[in-house]
Amino acid sequence: MNIITDAIQTTIGSLLKEHQQIKKELDLLQSLMEEKNFPSQELLKFLNNLKTLTLSGHHEKEEKILLKWMIDQNPNADGAIISKIKKDHQELDAIVQRILERSEGLEDELTNFLQLYREHIDLEENFIFLIAKGILAASECEYH
Ligand SMILES: [Fe+2]
Ligand SMILES: [Fe+2]
């Protein structure tokens, strides 16, 4: 392990922890959506906080540290899945923005957001993080 692979290992660990937190917040968002007074001010405030306090930092960490490192390691491989992850981030941001800016069709947008975000986490945990760990394991062999 060198300083960079250590940092990547640590980053994957913290991204996984953040996913646990995000999943809880998605569940909470879903229960706020299922309340009778939907869409409540509470829900919109919660969604805004989720976006600005949690998701923007999380997505930035994924793109600027993990995905950037993966592309540097292997510029030609994994391009399609890395593009999909980045596209998801943009789409998720756009959905939240639409929800916060208008008053109609919110339930469909929110349902779409919850589904896309949960699929997105699965894709990262079952593919991206595993590919990254594979690259880490391979580079560890090179140093020995
Ligand atoms: Fe992500
Ligand atoms: Fe993530």
Cα–Cα distance, 141 to 1 (Å, whole number): 9
Q: Across residues 111-122, what is the average pLDDT?
A: 98
Regarding pTM above 0.75, the answer is yes
Q: Of all helices (H) and strands (E), which one includes residue 111?
A: helix 106-123
Q: For position 1, what pLDDT does the model report?
A: 62
C-alpha 37 to ligand 1 mean position (Å)? 30
User: Over the stretch 49-99, which tens digit does the pLDDT of each residue have?
Assistant: 999 999 999 999 999 999 999 999 988 778 899 999 999 999 999 999 999
For 22, 53, 95, 98, the CA distances from 49, given in Å and listed in that order, are 12, 5, 15, 15
Query: Is 30 strand, coil or helix?
Result: helix
Neighbours of ion ligand 2 (CB under 5 A): 124
User: Over the stretch 2-52, which tens digit does the pLDDT of each residue have?
Assistant: 899 999 999 999 999 999 999 999 999 999 999 989 889 999 999 999 999
Q: For position 29, what pLDDT does the model report?
A: 96
The pLDDT of residue 102 is above 80: yes
Q: For position 140, what pLDDT does the model report?
A: 80
The pLDDT of residue 144 is above 80: no
C-alpha 39 to ligand 2 mean position (Å)? 26
Give the type of residue at 141: C
Give the type of residue at 135: I
Q: For position 141, what pLDDT does the model report?
A: 78
Hey, CA dihedral for 23, 92, 103, 49, is it positive or negative? positive
C-alpha 74 to ligand 2 mean position (Å)? 21
C-alpha 138 to ligand 2 mean position (Å)? 23
Q: How many other C-beta atoms lie within 10 A of the C-beta of residue 34?
A: 9
86 within 8 A of 63, measured Cβ to Cβ = yes
Ordered structural domains, the chain, with CATH: 3-143 (1.20.120)
Q: For position 74, what pLDDT does the model report?
A: 85
Q: For position 143, what pLDDT does the model report?
A: 59
